[in-house]
Amino acid sequence: MDGHSFGALLLLLTCLSLSAAQCVMGAATWGPCGEKDVPVTVKGVVVTPDPPVRGSAFSFELPATSNRVITGGYVKVFVFFHGVPVHLEEDDLCEKTSCPVQIGDFVFRNAQDLPGVTPPGPYMVKVSAFDENDEPLFCTKIRFMIVKRPRESGFLKAIL
């Protein structure tokens, strides 16, 4: 089996283990982590670009609504590749949105530069936000595929 056939087989097996929506290029999916009675409801996700491209800037926005004023807090962003944790960062909530967050709609934003060595494939990002008293505000999971840059070829393409 040559490298291209093996890669196609690996992609097929990965797609079979994911939902159909996650297997489509450019189709980021999201959902709540399952916490109940949190003050913030995430209403969607916007991934840019979709799909993310390794070696490029990547961002996501979470349009949300809050049922109370939020004056501060922090957010933890966990990154998983094939279900394995590969990155964790903790940031000030007010660096990701305008504080104080008023009752009603707001947008949570996160941006990251993806290194050129980022492996292509399925990723899941878990975003957990907490107020200044460590009370949960929201938790959302975002699933997407990171792809190679279109111009990758030759030696890099052969080893990846």
| pLDDT value at residue 24 | 43
Whole-angstrom distance, CA of residue 130 vs CA of residue 138: 7
Q: What is the pLDDT of residue 152?
A: 54
In a domain, 40, yes or no: yes
**The domain spanning residue 138 has which CATH number?**
2.60.40.770
pLDDT tens by residue, the chain, 160 residues = 444 333 333 343 444 444 333 344 458 999 999 888 999 999 999 999 999 999 999 999 999 999 999 999 999 999 999 999 999 999 999 999 999 999 999 999 999 999 999 999 999 999 999 999 999 999 999 999 999 987 754 445 554 5
Q: Which of 144, 149, 148, 151 lies closest to 26, judged by CA?
A: 144
For residue 16, being part of any structural domain is answered with: no
Cα–Cα distance measured from residue 8 to residue 3, given in angstroms and rounded to the nearest whole number: 9
Cβ-contact 144, 26 below 8 angstroms: no
Per the structure, the count of domains in the chain is: 1
| Contact (Cβ atoms closer than 8 angstroms) between residue 138 and residue 64 | yes
pLDDT recorded at residue 62? 97
Does residue 15 lie within any of the structural domains? no
How far is 3 from 159, CA to CA, in rounded Å?
A: 9
Structural domain including 85 reads: 26-159
The pLDDT, as a whole number, for residue 135 is 96
